[in-house]
Chains A and B, each alone.
Chain A
Amino acid sequence: MLTRTLGRTPYFVVAGGLAVIFLFPLLWNAWASVSGQPGTAQESGYGFGNYRTLLDYDAGLWRYLLNSTVVSALTVVLTLGVSLLGGYAFARFDFPGKNLLFLLTLAILMVPYATLLIPLYVLLGRLHLQNSLIGLSLVLAMFQLPFATFMMRISFEAVPRELEESALVDGCGTAGALRRVLLPAVRPGLITVGLFAFLAAWNDFIAPLILISDNEKAPLPLAVANLRQQSMGAVDYGATEAGVVVLAVPCLVLFLLLQRHYVRGFMSGALKG
């Protein structure tokens, strides 16, 4: 309609112009991280000086990458495990307190992140999980539960009941039916949940800022933010730009590879609305 009345040129000009604005900061940052700037490790010309600064910064890039990987992997595994079992229970079983528990799980969404972090800081201290990557992962997994449980519940509900019942008749227990029959059927839901959990854990800033006090244990976003205060107020923009690249690349690659699964998350959100 629009194309017939206006022709395609204005559409391409507007859409293309917007695309340039959206891409520019990303491209500029990638370029700036390898190009020469005074006051950085890469004084002139092109090269990876800024990345070398990052490798040597404090506990070292590898350490921070490891911290981020551990936190993200633990969060993904915890979220997938809990929401797989929980989704199965909510979709296929009747038990006392089922609706209350489901509502309470969704209620996590209603409570602002930041207001829970202050008591969680104290609580993790009491559980001897303060300043620990495990404690941080448990908290991040909890914040993923509303979306993950909802997603897994509707994934299980979409599987025909006959599929599971024939497995039960064939002598599988419910655990066997879950493992052999249902798991393959809900795999797309699991991928969506895992992707969201990974992106949230990899990128989270305020939770490690509050829950991790030891610089050795900082995940990458916190480490890169701390790096700016390095060396007596002299700001190393180059190293920060390199840090942003290291932070962004896994997210962009995963998003581009798993776009379809990402969009499914939105479809379920819209179903709910």
Chain B
Amino acid sequence: MQVKAADPAAAEPRTRPERRARPSRATPPRWRSRKAKGLAYAAPTAVFVAVFFLLPLLLVGQMSLSDWPLLAGDRGLNAPENYADATDGTLFWPAVRFTLLYTVIVTVVLLGLALGLALLVQESRPGTGFFRTVYFLPGALGLASASLLFWGLYSPSTGPLSGILEELGLVDDPVSFLGTPTSALLSTVFLIVWKFAGFYMLILLVGLQRIPQDVFEAARMDGASRGQIFRSITLPLLRPSLALTLLLSVTGSLLAFDQFFILTKGGPDNSTVTVVQLIYREAFQRMDLGTAAALSVIVLAVLLLFNALQFRGLRRADES
């Protein structure tokens, strides 16, 4: 890092004054060719960003304003019909409510557990390396693979969980993990927490290790209790890392798809349909790409707003 900070300052005086000294003449060839080379090296990135990011962004806007059946393609503007259709659908508000509820529950449980795990394996003690790896291991799996795994784990016919809970005397009857709206939601939350807790633990661990040790030493010298140290030192200094995990968890949960598509299929009784599932249904089951695009634009707008708020909050935290 130090090398990086010192270097541009050392390199710049060599080239810049030369350029400024001759403003009226053409740019020196070496400088011009360096510019051209930079452009050439950045060209693949520019092409990717333009074709697969900016173009689709424009296209989704156009689609959201057009009558666009899946098979027939573009049939001209019909604004604002798609937006009206998208928000009038019987599942729209239930899906929004469910997605928000799911996001709140997942984020609270996930960040709480991740923080606990990070504090647990923060100091190096015998076995911490092993425990860190084990907690992270589910994170190496894909979300779809993890969902398929839990689909078997929760199944009433082959899943072992119900039996284990009965053995332990925690329940009397076989548990239906995906059978009711509440149990389906909580079972999915458990899957997500299992899969991602180690991942967030790692982010928080990196943050914890960036806090200088002498701050803790000083607090201990002054006779601060462990609770006081946690509240007045660890939490405030961990704020950037916590903000990052909050951002990732909220964004990820608002866009939840794989886990519900595979585990609950939106059931029972459409009680676990998320907003992204709604986009998929509009596009490929109701075959209306226009309405799906309108839903996409709505989701995009909400997330951009949320991200902007988060960044403002982050910046304020940096300033204080």
Verify B52–A139 contact, CB threshold 8 A: yes
- Chain B interface residue count, CB cutoff 8 Å, equals 99
Tell me the smallest distance from the CB of B254 to a CB of chain A, in Å.
8
Verify A89–B45 contact, CB threshold 8 A: yes
Verify B52–A142 contact, CB threshold 8 A: yes
What are 21 A-B pairs at a CB distance below 8 A? Answer: A11-B125, A22-B137, A25-B194, A29-B153, A93-B38, A95-B42, A115-B279, A149-B45, A161-B11, A203-B143, A203-B144, A210-B284, A244-B149, A244-B152, A247-B142, A247-B148, A251-B141, A263-B202, A269-B206, A270-B210, A270-B244
Q: Specify which chain B residues have a CB less than 8 angstroms from the CB of A77 in the assembled complex.
A: none
Which 4 pairs across A and B sit closest by C-beta, in order of nearness?
A203-B142, A93-B38, A115-B296, A89-B41
Q: Which residues between 226 and 273 of chain A lie within 8 Å of chain B, taking CB atoms?
A: 228, 235, 237-238, 240-241, 243-244, 247-248, 251-252, 254-256, 259, 263, 266-267, 269-270, 273
| A interface secondary structure, majority | helix
A59 on the B face (CB < 8 A): no
Query: How long is the Cα–Cα vector from A96 to B207 in the complex, in angstroms?
Result: 36
Q: Specify which chain A residues have a CB less than 8 angstroms from the CB of B152 in the assembled complex.
A: 29, 32, 237, 240-241, 244
Instruction: Please encode chain B, from 11 to 55, with 1 for each CB lying within 8 Å of some chain A CB and 0 for all others.
Output: 100000000000000000000001111111111111011001111
B60 on the A face (CB < 8 A): yes
Instruction: Please encode chain B, from 103 to 145, with 1 for each CB lying within 8 Å of some chain A CB and 0 for all others.
Output: 0000000000000010011010111001101111110111111
Query: How long is the Cα–Cα vector from A224 to B147 in the complex, in angstroms?
Result: 11
Instruction: Please encode chain B, from 251 to 286, with 1 for each CB lying within 8 Å of some chain A CB and 0 for all others.
Output: 100110110011000000000000010011001100
Q: Which residues between 155 and 192 of chain A lie within 8 Å of chain B, taking CB atoms?
A: 157-158, 160-161, 174
Verify B3–A174 contact, CB threshold 8 A: no
Tell me the smallest distance from the CB of A126 to a CB of chain B, in Å.
9
Verify A119–B57 contact, CB threshold 8 A: yes
Q: Specify which chain B residues have a CB less than 8 angstroms from the CB of A121 in the assembled complex.
A: 283, 289
Verify A95–B258 contact, CB threshold 8 A: no
Query: How long is the Cα–Cα vector from A161 to B9 in the complex, in angstroms?
Result: 11
Tell me the smallest distance from the CB of B68 to a CB of chain A, in Å.
8
A108 on the B face (CB < 8 A): yes
A141 on the B face (CB < 8 A): yes
Tell me the smallest distance from the CB of A226 to a CB of chain B, in Å.
11
- Chain A interface residue count, CB cutoff 8 Å, equals 97
Tell me the smallest distance from the CB of A261 to a CB of chain B, in Å.
13
B241 on the A face (CB < 8 A): yes
Q: Specify which chain B residues have a CB less than 8 angstroms from the CB of A32 in the assembled complex.
A: 152, 158, 160
Q: Specify which chain B residues have a CB less than 8 angstroms from the CB of A123 in the assembled complex.
A: 52, 55-56, 59
Verify B134–A23 contact, CB threshold 8 A: yes
Q: Which residues between 197 and 233 of chain B lie within 8 Å of chain A, taking CB atoms?
A: 197-198, 202-203, 206-207, 210, 220, 226
Q: Specify which chain B residues have a CB less than 8 angstroms from the CB of A244 in the assembled complex.
A: 145, 148-149, 152
In the complex where A23-B134, A118-B63, A138-B52 touch, is A90 in contact with B142 (Cβ < 8 A)? no
In the complex where A240-B148, A266-B206 touch, is A161 in contact with B7 (Cβ < 8 A)? yes
Question: Quick one: closest B residue to A142, CB to CB?
Answer: B52
Verify B35–A96 contact, CB threshold 8 A: yes
Q: Which residues between 92 and 116 of chain A lie within 8 Å of chain B, taking CB atoms?
A: 92-96, 98, 101, 104-105, 107-108, 110-116
Verify B244–A86 contact, CB threshold 8 A: no
Instruction: Choose among B49, B57, B150 the residue with the greatest number of A CB atoms under 10 Å from its CB.
Output: B49
In the complex where A26-B137, A93-B35 touch, is A110 in contact with B303 (Cβ < 8 A)? yes
Verify A39–B210 contact, CB threshold 8 A: no
B243 on the A face (CB < 8 A): yes
Tell me the smallest distance from the CB of B117 to a CB of chain A, in Å.
7
Verify B45–A86 contact, CB threshold 8 A: yes
Verify B39–A95 contact, CB threshold 8 A: yes
Tell me the smallest distance from the CB of B242 to a CB of chain A, in Å.
9
Query: How long is the Cα–Cα vector from A110 to B125 in the complex, in angstroms?
Result: 39
Verify A115–B60 contact, CB threshold 8 A: yes
Q: Specify which chain B residues have a CB less than 8 angstroms from the CB of A134 in the assembled complex.
A: none
Verify A273–B143 contact, CB threshold 8 A: no
The answer, among B34, B41, B52, B197, for a CB contact under 8 Å with A85, is B41
Q: Specify which chain A residues have a CB less than 8 angstroms from the CB of B316 in the assembled complex.
A: none
Verify B251–A237 contact, CB threshold 8 A: no
Verify B127–A14 contact, CB threshold 8 A: no
Verify B304–A110 contact, CB threshold 8 A: yes
Verify A158–B3 contact, CB threshold 8 A: yes
Question: Quick one: closest B residue to A107, CB to CB?
Answer: B53
Verify B42–A86 contact, CB threshold 8 A: yes
B299 on the A face (CB < 8 A): yes
